[in-house]
Each structure stands twice: as C-alpha cells, then as structure tokens.
Structure 1
Amino acid sequence: MDHMRKEVIIQEINFWKNHKMLPETYCDFLLTLYSGEGQPDIKTSKPKSHNNILICLFLGILIGCNLVLNYFTHFSFAMQMTAAVISVILLTAFCFYTNNRTFLQIGLLIGALLFVLSTVQAAEYFQLGNVSLFTMLLANCALWIFIGKKFSLSYFWIAGFLGLSLVTLFIAKLYNIF
C-alpha cells in the first residue's frame, strides 16, 4: 500500500480513537495493522470461570432448603420463618453485590416468592384473619411494584398491579362490595 495512503488511514484512525468514534481496542488493532508494527495481537478468550455454576448452585440449594424446611418437615414455625428470613436476607445481599443482570433478576424473583410465601404462612399460623392476610398481600404487591420501577423490571410491576387487582377483587367479593 502507498506510504501516503497509510499515513492518511493512520491519522483517521487516531482521530476516531481520540473522539471515541470507535472502541479503543478496535482502534489499537487497526493502528497495529496499518502501521506495520508486527502482527496485531489477537487476544484469546479466557476460559469462563466457574462463578456462574457456583451462583446457580447457591440459588438452587437455597430454594431446595426452603422448600424442604417449609413443606416437607415438621419443624417449628419459628425455625421455618428463621430459615425463610435468612434466605430472603441472603438473596437481597446477593442482589446488591451481583454484577450480572440475569442473576439479579433471578435473585429478586426468588426472594419475592419466598417473601410472599412466608407472609402467607405467618398469617395462617397466627390466624390473623382475612383483613391482615389481604393487607400483607397488598404490601407484597406494592413492594413488587417498587422493585419493578427501581430495577426497570416490567414483569415485577405488572405482577404487582395484577396482584393488587386480584386482592382488591377478593376483598370486594368477600365483603359484597359489588
């Protein structure tokens, strides 16, 4: 290639790099290619770490333990609720420390389901009655709407609004409002 033409191309690539018109790695690659400074370095991809497998294993064990403790054993209510609360706290902490959006969504979803199941189980255990149960369910739905807005998860706020509608419908039907 003509030397003058190479200089124009190199100047243009430097301009792109300085004005962030292309990612820096692309510009470096092109500069190396056109400047003739040896072969461009093509980085080999690193093998994926086992973090994703460990995270999935952690979430699976957490769900499994809660299901076994709450539905297949005769442990005391206090122990079941303690396990559920610890699980929700662990999932909340996990959601704040994860950088992966998929794992954030999975953690939030599992945490929300465990939380609603725990509140319903607590309402049944303490025999609080329909008003308290409906209030807890409305609070859960409001929390889902908040989470959906905060993290831009449309399925959370849709589920929250649907839950609010269903609970309101049940309240209206129970007290013959319609």
Structure 2
Amino acid sequence: MSDRRIATVVEEIHYWKEHNLLPDVYCDFLLAIYTNGEGVGEENTGKNRINILTAIQLTLLSLLLPFAFLVIYFTEFPASLQVSTLFLFVTYSYWMSRVYSQKLTIYYHLSIVTFLLLLLLMSIYISTLFTANQWFLQFVMIINVISWYFFSRRIDIKYLKIVSIFGIAFVILYIVLQKIHILSL
C-alpha cells in the first residue's frame, strides 16, 4: 500500500477511536497493523495529556464554588471586581458544561451543578448589592430554583428535579416562617 493510503486509513482509525465508533482495543489493533506497531504508543501519550488536562479542568471546576465564597465574603475587593470575578466563574463553568455535554459523564454533571450554584450565588449577591429588601431576595431565590426545575426537565436530570423541588419547598417554608415571626412581634 502507498504511504498516502496508509496515512488515510490511520486517520480514519483515529477518527473511529476518537468518536467511539469502534472499541479502543480494535482501533489499537488496527493502528498496530497499519503503522507496524508505532501508532499505538503515540496515541497513548496523547491520551495521557488529555487525562492530565481533564484533571486540571475538573480540579479548577471543583474549586470555583469555594473561591466564589472566598471572593464574596472574605475579601474587601470592590463590588464591581467581585461581580466580574463571579461572572468569570459562571462563564467558565458554563463553558465546561458545554465541553462535556456530548460525553454525559460525571464531568458534565459536576459542571452543570457548579454552574447552577454559582449562578444562584451571583444572582443573590447582585440582588443584595442593589436592594436590602428581603422580599426581592426571596423572589430571586425562588426564581432560581424554579428555573432549575425547568432546566432539569429539559435536559432530563432526575436528581436536579428533586433538588429543585426541595429548594422550592425550602424557600417557601423560609418565607412562611419569616412571615410568622414578623407577625408574632
């Protein structure tokens, strides 16, 4: 076979392996045949780089929520810098959810949950910057958890539906208990 044809076949096998059209074992076997045993080692090196990159991304994604609390509650940055930092965190978590949306793995779920929690935190923080009205804050919280429910129905994630229902119940219970406490004074 000519070198050009072999290169085309090897590219196709890499495509099959990348898109899971064939099991990795079959692809490695075919690569070993067409590259005389040289193509398998190169692919594993690339796979290790991807795993290290994924580990770094997931570590960063896991640390976004604690860093967001740190930025808001334990620093004396100006409010505009805090909001822009939160916006950056929300954007990164949304981007990660889009990156992992095709794979539907634990990485996708982690990025979705981080995105929703950061969005809740950012909306609560922004609402407290503009007004000290508790009713507005409660309205923002109830809108967030209701949007979680509709979002979970759209992408069909059951645990998010359950959490959103508990969140709605918690916010309503909080409003009722606060109203009772205000009336008893």
Q: CA RMSD in A?
A: 3.0
- 1:63–1:141 distance in 2 versus 1, CA, 3 Å: closer
Q: 56, 67, 70: which is aligned to 1:68?
A: 70
Q: 2:144 aligns with which of 130, 134, 140?
A: 140
Which residue number in structure 2 is paired with residue 165 of structure 1? Answer: 169
If the length of structure 2 is used for normalisation, what is the TM-score? 0.63
Deviation at 1:24, TM superposition (A): 6.9
Could you list the structure 1 runs, at least 4 aligned residues long, displaced by more than 4 angstroms after superposition.
Answer: none
| Residue deviations 1:104-159 (CA, integer Å, cap 9, x gap) | 11111111111212222223332341211111001110121123222322221111
Q: 1:64 deviation in Å?
A: 5.1
Larger Rg: 1
Distance 1:51 1:164, change over 3 A: same
Q: Which amino acid aligns with 1:154?
A: K
Larger helix fraction of residues? 2
Match of 2:118 among 114, 123, 133: 114
User: What does residue 77 of structure 1 align with?
Assistant: 79
Question: For 1:66 and 1:166, how far apart are their aligned partners in 2?
Answer: 23
- DSSP 3-state at the match of 1:74: coil
Q: Work out whether 1:52 is the aligned partner of 2:60.
A: no
Distance 1:103 1:63 in 2: 15
The equivalences for 1:10-29 within 5 A come to none
Q: Taking structure 1 as reference, are residues 24 and 166 closer, same or farther at Cα in structure 2, changes over 3 Å only?
A: closer
Amino acid at match of 2:93: L
| Structure 2, unpaired ranges of 5+ | 1-20, 27-36
**Comparing both chains, which one has the higher relative contact order based on Cα–Cα distances under 8 Å and sequence gaps of 6 or more?**
2
Show the counterpart of 2:32: none
Tell me how many residue pairs correspond in the alignment.
141
Seen in structure 2, the aligned counterparts of structure 1 residues 131 and 63 have a Cα distance that, compared at 3 Å, is: closer
CA deviation vs aligned residue, 1:23-81 (integer Å, no higher than 9, x gap)? 976xx8xxxxxxxxxxxx9x899354323222223324544542332222100111111
> Aligned in 2, Cα 1:24/1:153: closer, same or farther, shift over 3 Å?
closer
Work out the CA distance in 2 between the residues paired with 1:71 and 1:175. 27
Residues of 2 paired with 1:128 and 1:121: CA distance?
A: 11
Structure 1: unaligned runs, 5 residues or longer: 1-22, 29-40
1:104 — aligned with what?
A: 108
Same amino acid, percent of matched pairs: 16
